[in-house]
Chains A and B, each alone.
Chain A
Amino acid sequence: MSEQTAAPHKLTADTAALTPRGPLSEFWYYFSENRGAVTGLAFFAFICAVALLAGMIAPHSATEQYRDALLFPPVWQEGGDWRFLLGTDAVGRDMLSRLIYGSQYSLFVGCIVVAGAMVVGVTLGVITGYLGGNFDALVMRLMDIILAFPSLLLALALVAILGPSLTNAMIAIAIVQQPHYVRLTRAAVMSEKGKDYVTAARVAGVPPGRLMFRTILPNCMAPLIVQAALSFSTAILDAAALGFLGMGAQPPTPEWGTMLAEAREFILRAWWVVTFPGVAILLTVLAINLMGDGLRDALDPKLKRS
């Protein structure tokens, strides 16, 4: 196979002086090349807007039950009602409004879990990566212990101890995600630690704390940002899974996973009660994963073209 597959470039008549781009502009160039990533970003912005404006755009409250409108199908099906565009559930609550309010819960979970896991995990990872030695060994064993349990199972067990609620679900998921941040940060710090600029800073008299967090850490951000995007989406999925199993947000909270738990018995009778919450989860998680992919491609120097 010849390597000379025709590339879509014409020979330029003159390759006179070109100017390189600044870092933010270069980042956006690579990111925006990825149409999926831009689409993901746009959809994520849309969901954020929905969550922030939920009170204003939702046609009904999330918990009000319309006794005369039980299990109404979506408006385009026979039996549908214009008051309830996406239909109603078994106790007469409007699906569309519940979905809109549900976005608040999912985004909230994502933010809190990522923030919590990152703050603790990255700090721990930086310290252990920098110090090494016995402390490092201890922390790594601790992380191995957490990783020995399948993540959903561990989260489930933690919630069982703490009691089923959305808050406890968030705590459990944040704990379960710790090891990924710790390991990632530790690996990055260890590889940066030996580099010349760190040695130069240390020789110049920079104290260890500042060295760790102000000199080394900023250079490790690229994989961490990608991991943050990934764990945002994982957090939403795990929270939904816990909700589905009855161990997360409790009814009547309009969390998308909890909505699916309530809908299970109606899967053959009322497809809309099952489909829409799942679609909402899928699209949100997909958008975040697309963004995460775009971030990774834009920040990873090896994949760049030149």
Chain B
Amino acid sequence: MLRFFLRRIALLIPTFIGVTIAAFAFIRILPGDPVLLMAGERGTTPERHAQLMEQFGFDRPLPIQYLDYLTSALQGDLGISLVTKKPVWDEFFVLFPATLELSFCAIIFAAAIGLPAGVMAAVRRGSWLDQTVMSTALIGYSMPIFWWGLLLIILFSGILGWTPVTGRISLIYFFEPVTGFMLIDSLLSGQKGAFSSAVSHLILPTIVLGTIPLAVVARQTRSAMLEVLGEDYVRTARAKGLKPSRVIGLHALRNALIPVITTIGLQVGVLLGGAILTETIFSWPGIGKWMLDSIFRRDYPSVQGGLLMIAAVVMVVNLTVDLVYGLINPRIRHVG
């Protein structure tokens, strides 16, 4: 099993290098002079131009620039945001917990509903339950989530007034962030009503962000279960006279979960993309919104740094999923 892990990690290195090159190339691909691009419409004086060129190292040969970039990045220096004048690294980590919290809740939401739904749909294949689950999953999968978010806002915030529209917590609460996770911080703050306010702000964004993963998990679980239910060892389990709930819930599910957990893990990439839309609609102060804003404000160091960090997060998650897969698949964990 150790070999399995090492091989996975080894494959990651060229990919990571490639990602850094892609992020590095981002600004360089933009047509035109990089300094002028950053200056925007205001333009600069020739002296300032030369100064900035030297400061950012644009006057040096490209491979050297890349190496500088790479060494800085590995030390946590991703440049300075043109808008806030603060280090990009710091900006990222201030906003990242918000996205992390939202993504985490969305995944829990997707798995908690999607897994049982998929299992039941597979077991009762062809029944109305199966068709309902599959139709609902299909609709969730086909929905433009930005529109879905707007609809939910119209319904629950506008017409019913049950949930708030924007932000992570009601403005009347203020406390210093400890972990960056509003659910935990609000509990720690001890202020009355803070926690429930945090929860009510999380509900709609979680549903919106979690809809597509929910649909995917339900469908994948169903198809993995259907595959497993046709296997010889399930027949053996039935031939032993075991209860159906045991055959399905233990013998079948345990095997079906192996590919499904991989799917759940891989949804992270989808989540980070969907976060851009969700955070925009709900004004959720996370990295999705930050990336979009940075693109519009031409804050190229932020965009570049954000791309690199997000790609790194995705790669780490994928690696973790691979490792978990190695742990739960007995063929890899216990080599013959």
Contact = CB atoms under 8 A, between A and B. Distances in A.
Q: Do A and B come from one complex?
A: yes
A241 B272 CA distance: 14
A262 to B, nearest CB: 12
Contacts of A141: 14-15, 18
A233 B142 CA distance: 8
A266 to B, nearest CB: 10
A227 to B, nearest CB: 15
Given A153-B276, A290-B138, A148 B314 contact: yes
Nearest to B26: A157
Contact of B314 (A150, A157, A277): A150
Interface in B252-301: 269-274, 276-277, 280, 291-292, 295-296
B74 interface: no
A293 B144 contact: no
B160 to A, nearest CB: 13
Contacts of A36: 135, 138
A302 B224 CA distance: 13
B327 interface: no
A233 B303 CA distance: 28
Contacts, number: 124
- Taking residues whose C-beta sits less than 8 angstroms from the other chain, chain B's interface range is 35 or more
Interface residues of A, number: 45
Contact of B292 (A148, A245, A281): A245
Contacts of A257: 144, 146
The main secondary structure of chain B at its interface with chain A is helix
A159 to B, nearest CB: 9
A201 interface: no
Contacts of A142: 18
Nearest to A289: B142
Interface string B156-185: 001000000000000000000000000000
A264 B138 contact: no
A224 interface: no
B36 to A, nearest CB: 15
Interface of A: 1, 3, 36, 141-142, 144-145, 147-153, 156-157, 160-161, 233, 237, 240-241, 244-247, 257, 260, 264, 267-268, 271, 274-275, 277-278, 281-282, 285-286, 289-290, 293, 302-303
29 contacts: A1-B244, A1-B247, A141-B18, A144-B15, A145-B18, A145-B19, A148-B315, A149-B19, A149-B314, A150-B269, A152-B273, A153-B276, A156-B295, A157-B295, A161-B29, A244-B144, A244-B146, A245-B276, A245-B277, A246-B296, A260-B147, A267-B154, A275-B151, A278-B150, A282-B142, A282-B143, A286-B139, A289-B138, A289-B142
Interface of B: 11, 14-15, 18-19, 22, 26, 29-30, 135, 138-139, 141-144, 146-148, 150-151, 153-154, 158, 226-227, 238, 244, 247, 269-274, 276-277, 280, 291-292, 295-296, 303, 307, 310-311, 314-315, 318
**Which 4 A-B pairs give the minimum distances between C-beta atoms?**
A278-B147, A150-B273, A152-B273, A1-B244
